[in-house]
């Protein structure tokens, strides 16, 4: 794929390889280290617009960032007034970019009429996007191709987003019921891309340079967004960008652990890190014993000692 800067409204980003918002994974520590690898833009975990307006500490904590110029806040919500108020809040004043989530498939979010549920109501979705745009922030929208297999609302919603003032749309090339697996719907993304003038980013199933190239070749998208592929191989972004990584995997992990511990403390960091273990060690042989030790480690230094025996 061609690496290039992207124009988003009156803002620009350095390149067209983005890091997806992933609840529980793209926290402050992971995003901060990931930015050192060269992403054009990263996204926070999903932040409740209503939670932010009411200044819920959990929502505010998700905004922690060392580089707000390269971080987009991903909001979820279905009430335009809360979306606008969140965008205009004091907590978001230093962020240039806000992304509206219309793709989350999780039942708790969906049943509340938020996330991918908005794909069933384009009128409400339009009001949400217009409310966000009216705040003056540079707004992007993340959608899926539909609710169930056979659906394709990507073109309709991408056009709506553009007409409502959004500066970019990311399409997760799967329907809600597919969650995070299955073949991407390249055709749906291609049709949506051809229907608008704003940049379209393609997301879904990109775990290698080959996958990234295939996605661009088949869809004509303006760039790619890495999700689970970036967790399985944090250095993948450098491979796609065609540059040498400034960090080894060990250095990436140790930096992540150090940052995590400054925010969460040693013991909690050890627990939070466990969800990354199977991703980081995927494909390595003879490490079952080390995995067990990592899953019972009680502090960051203990984790580092175990990992030093692996790497």
Residue 178 resides in a domain = yes
Nearest 10 degrees: Cα torsion 84, 60, 71, 232: -120
Range of the domain at 272: 249-308
Instruction: Point out which residues pair with 35 in neighbouring strands.
Output: none
Mean pLDDT by 10 residues, the chain (311 residues): 96 97 96 97 98 96 95 98 98 97 96 96 98 98 96 97 98 96 96 98 97 98 97 97 97 97 93 95 90 94 95 88
The C-alpha atoms of residue 65 and residue 87 are separated, in whole angstroms, by: 16
Phi, psi for residue 261 in degrees, rounded to 5: -70, -30
238 part of the active site: no
Residue 1 resides in a domain = no
Last residue within a domain, chosen from 196, 218, 241: 241
Mark whether 301 and 231 lie in a shared domain. no
Residue 182 resides in a domain = yes
Mark whether 264 and 181 lie in a shared domain. no
Mark whether 226 and 297 lie in a shared domain. no
Mark whether 63 and 188 lie in a shared domain. yes
Phi, psi for residue 213 in degrees, rounded to 5: -65, -40
Mark whether 204 and 256 lie in a shared domain. no
pLDDT value of position 220: 98
Residue 208 resides in a domain = yes
CATH code for position 130: 3.20.20.70
pLDDT value of position 283: 86
Mark whether 280 and 150 lie in a shared domain. no
Last residue within a domain, chosen from 241, 261, 293: 241
The catalytic position among 87, 104, 238, 295 is 104
Residue 127 resides in a domain = yes
The structural domain count of the chain equals 2
Residue 169 resides in a domain = yes
Mark whether 127 and 89 lie in a shared domain. yes
Q: 3-class SS at 93?
A: coil
* DSSP label of 89: S
Q: Residue 53 corresponds to which tokens in the numbers above? A: 């307006």
The C-alpha atoms of residue 6 and residue 239 are separated, in whole angstroms, by: 19
Mark whether 12 and 141 lie in a shared domain. yes
Residue of 147, 150, 206 lying closest to 179 (CA atoms): 147
pTM: 0.96
The C-alpha atoms of residue 235 and residue 252 are separated, in whole angstroms, by: 9
CATH code for position 279: 1.10.1200.80
Last residue within a domain, chosen from 241, 258, 291: 241
Mark whether 164 and 283 lie in a shared domain. no
Mark whether 205 and 98 lie in a shared domain. yes
Residue 253 resides in a domain = yes
Mark whether 61 and 181 lie in a shared domain. yes
């Amino acid at each position: 794929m061609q690496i290039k800067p992207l124009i988003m409204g009156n803002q620009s980003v350095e390149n067209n390889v983005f890091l997806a918002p992933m609840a529980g994974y793209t926290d402050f520590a992971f995003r901060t280290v990931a930015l050192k690898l060269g992403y054009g833009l990263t996204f926070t975990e999903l932040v409740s617009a209503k939670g932010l307006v009411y200044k819920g500490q959990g929502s505010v904590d998700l905004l922690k960032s060392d580089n707000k110029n390269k971080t987009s806040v991903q909001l979820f919500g279905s009430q335009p007034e809360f979306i606008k108020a969140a965008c205009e809040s004091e907590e978001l004043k230093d962020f240039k970019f806000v992304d509206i989530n219309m793709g989350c498939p999780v039942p708790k979010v969906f049943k509340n009429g938020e996330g991918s549920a908005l794909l069933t109501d384009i009128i409400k979705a339009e009001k949400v996007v217009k409310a966000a745009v009216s705040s003056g922030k540079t707004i992007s929208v993340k959608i899926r191709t539909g609710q169930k297999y056979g659906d394709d609302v990507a073109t309709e919603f991408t056009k709506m987003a553009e007409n409502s003032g959004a500066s970019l749309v990311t399409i997760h090339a799967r329907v809600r019921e597919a969650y995070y697996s299955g073949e991407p719907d390249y055709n749906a993304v291609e049709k949506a891309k051809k229907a608008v003038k704003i940049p379209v980013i393609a997301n879904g199933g990109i775990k290698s340079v080959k996958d990234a190239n295939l996605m661009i070749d088949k869809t004509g998208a303006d760039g790619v967004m890495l999700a689970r592929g970036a967790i399985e191989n944090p250095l993948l972004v450098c491979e796609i960008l065609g540059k040498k990584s400034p960090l080894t995997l060990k250095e990436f992990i140790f930096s992540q652990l150090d940052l995590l511990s400054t925010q969460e403390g040693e013991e909690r960091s050890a627990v939070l890190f466990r969800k990354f273990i199977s991703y980081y060690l995927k494909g390595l042989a003879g490490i079952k014993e080390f995995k067990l030790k990592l899953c019972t480690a009680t502090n960051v230094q203990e984790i580092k000692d175990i990992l030093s025996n692996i790497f």
